[in-house]
Structure 1
Amino acid sequence: MTTGTSGSPGVLDLPVGSTERLLALLDGRRLSPAQRRIGQFLIDHLGEVVFMSSVDLAERVGVSQPSVTRFAAALGFSGYPALRDALKGIVLGTVGDSPEEARRNEFQAAIAAEQANLEVLHRLVATPDRLIEAGRVLAECDPLVVLGLRLSLPVAQYFTYSAQRVHPDVRLISLAGSSASDALLQAHQAGASWIVAFLMPRYAEEALDVLDYARELGMKVALITDNPLVPFATAADIMLPAGVGSRLVFDSHAAPMVLASLLVQAIADAAPERAQARLEAYEALSEARDYYRS
């Protein structure tokens, strides 16, 4: 790292052509007055901006923090962190000559982040005892309750659909409020002792309410979330973390989806004869009903 001509820390010297590359990012964009102010600040202070958070930049320019986020989106980036990464590349002379290549590198970076999440998951299951134990207790729980609200719902739906093929009674709670309480009470009265909860960022407060009620009923919680240090981790009897990708407009859930599949496998392995019988029955039904095209 170098310092600017002023000699003050936190300011990078700019390579030849850096201003032109930045102007290329701004070229042709329909920007609001506030966004134009941000763009001009970038041009005047590029060597400093790469060290600033969105809050810092907003304060220096005199705009709101959401204005900075919208500015990044107007340039075609998923958010300010992605824009700042591209600006760092400009300052270090490592990005391509066009805005299109900068955004293409952003897509590659998003995939690389997911690969890192999968590598962490790979290390987690290198010692599979916790996953195996989760499969055992969930296989024994009948009925088995699954919780997934808002953006966590697609992962919960995938788990539920798959688990229903190897477990006799899997019930998904996908709505909050009184509907969730009714479903949870009914399942508990039918014998449910565990709830599998998928809670990914942003963590829905209403999902935490469902977990609180499950604990009131005496149920245990198998929690699948992105970070083992989340504040509500104390609600979990079994914690299975899987990181989410946060470099795009919406989080991506590659690792949680893989973990959901692993957990279904663990449930099947815990009761192999039952799982095999149910899978064969489903295959016979799908053939008789022509569910799929060959």
Structure 2
Amino acid sequence: MEKYVDLIKVIQNNFNRLSKGQKLIAEFIMNNYDRAAFMTAATLGETVGVSESTVVRFANTLGYDGYRELQKELQELIKNKLTTVQRISLSKDFTDYENALKLVVKKDMDNIEKTLNEIDYHAFQRAVEITLKADNVFVLGLRSSSFLAGYLGFYLNFLLSNVKVVTSGPSDVFEQLLKATDEDVIIGISYPRYSKRTLEALDYGKEKGCKIIGITDSLISPAAQYADTTLIASSNMLSFVDSLVAPMSLINAFIIALGTEKKNDITAYFEDLEKIWKKHNVYNTNNKNNK
């Protein structure tokens, strides 16, 4: 796994050879790294009183191809450390609600586009193959990721007969994984601020010999270090709310890929389900024309 260098130490080690303007940038980043990580080069330059080109040269001086590469590394290093209060402080003041709606939806669209452009199709195929071969499939996602885990588990239970969604509660996650073996797979879903219990459970599953499929936001995510194959979906956020739209889209694709492989097996199953749903009025079939 790629090992990121501590950007703050890089800045400190190079501080004495920076120009006067670059030192202003360096001092701001070291003292306000959580804010700087989400500033454009122009905004950062304006904040410290230097030009945008000075910010770009600053990144080049530290060995980066450009400011965006430096910014990306800084975001990767800090995003799992940001508290909810810090996320709020980074948010725009959304007094214009129409603008807020557009910005948030646009950010979700950007996350989906980034996911589509960067997805590893071989890893995706391997994840499908591992899941189909497993004796048991454990789906693990806690805190905000629990919604993704529940959604994935709901549909996997239509496709497979060996699915267990691991939940937090009276029965600890370790107890729920107690009978897992090296013939099983754990699908671990983990997004910033990366639940410690999820990571501990993945480590426990790894010790038991389980295959691990990671669904997370980066190959340097702490969840990725436990995974036999990792599926990446971007979750960059504008505020304190996690953006889980791209992960949900990735999970939809994963479910459909599994369903395609199981098509012949599940057709009769869904026919029976439709009869049950109809008999017990599970879904509303009335409309205005029928009233």
TM-score tier (shorter)? 0.5 to 0.7
When residues 9 and 134 of structure 1 are mapped into structure 2, their CA distance, relative to the original with a 3 A threshold, is same
Corresponding residue to 2:213 among 204, 208, 222: 222
Q: How does 1:54-65 map to 2 (within 5 A)?
A: none
**Unaligned segments of structure 1, at least 5 residues:** 1-7, 12-45, 53-68, 73-77, 87-98
When residues 132 and 279 of structure 1 are mapped into structure 2, their CA distance, relative to the original with a 3 A threshold, is farther
Check the 8 A contact 1:142/1:168 in 2, yes or no: no
Match of residue 197 from structure 2: 206
Note the C-alpha offset of 1:48: 8.4
Match of residue 283 from structure 2: 292
> Separation in 2 of the partners of 1:261 and 1:148?
16
> Separation in 2 of the partners of 1:231 and 1:122?
22
When residues 142 and 108 of structure 1 are mapped into structure 2, their CA distance, relative to the original with a 3 A threshold, is same
Note the C-alpha offset of 1:49: 7.8
> Separation in 2 of the partners of 1:282 and 1:192?
29
Note the C-alpha offset of 1:210: 0.5
Note the C-alpha offset of 1:51: 4.9
Corresponding residue to 1:112 among 99, 106, 120: 106
Is 2:151 the counterpart of 1:158? Answer: yes
1:246-276 residue CA offsets vs partner (Å, 9 max, x unmatched): 1132112000111111111121122221232
Is 2:273 the counterpart of 1:282? Answer: yes
Note the C-alpha offset of 1:199: 0.5
Match of residue 140 from structure 1: 133
SS in 2 for 1:157: helix
Note the C-alpha offset of 1:279: 2.5
SS in 1 for 2:91: helix
When residues 47 and 291 of structure 1 are mapped into structure 2, their CA distance, relative to the original with a 3 A threshold, is closer
Match of residue 13 from structure 2: none
When residues 173 and 250 of structure 1 are mapped into structure 2, their CA distance, relative to the original with a 3 A threshold, is same
Match of residue 80 from structure 1: 89
TM-score under structure 2 length normalisation: 0.64
1:32-84 residue CA offsets vs partner (Å, 9 max, x unmatched): xxxxxxxxxxxxxx9988459xxxxxxxxxxxxxxxx96x9xxxxx723333x
> Separation in 1 of the partners of 2:122 and 2:44?
49
> Separation in 2 of the partners of 1:287 and 1:48?
63
Is 2:244 the counterpart of 1:244? Answer: no
Q: How does 1:88-107 map to 2 (within 5 A)?
A: 100-101=95-96, 104-107=98-101
Note the C-alpha offset of 1:177: 8.7
> Separation in 2 of the partners of 1:247 and 1:224?
21
SS in 2 for 1:200: coil
TM-score under structure 1 length normalisation: 0.64
Corresponding residue to 1:170 among 160, 163, 173: 163
Match of residue 31 from structure 2: none
CA RMSD of aligned residues (A): 3.0
> Separation in 1 of the partners of 2:45 and 2:234?
31
SS in 2 for 1:175: coil
Corresponding residue to 2:262 among 271, 278, 291: 271
When residues 216 and 293 of structure 1 are mapped into structure 2, their CA distance, relative to the original with a 3 A threshold, is same
> Separation in 1 of the partners of 2:124 and 2:279?
35
When residues 172 and 47 of structure 1 are mapped into structure 2, their CA distance, relative to the original with a 3 A threshold, is closer
Counterpart residue type for residue 138 of structure 1: T
Identity over aligned residues, as a percent?
23
Higher Cα radius of gyration: 1
Match of residue 142 from structure 2: 149
Check the 8 A contact 1:135/1:269 in 2, yes or no: no
Figure out how many residues of one structure are paired with residues of the other and give that number. Answer: 213
When residues 283 and 187 of structure 1 are mapped into structure 2, their CA distance, relative to the original with a 3 A threshold, is farther
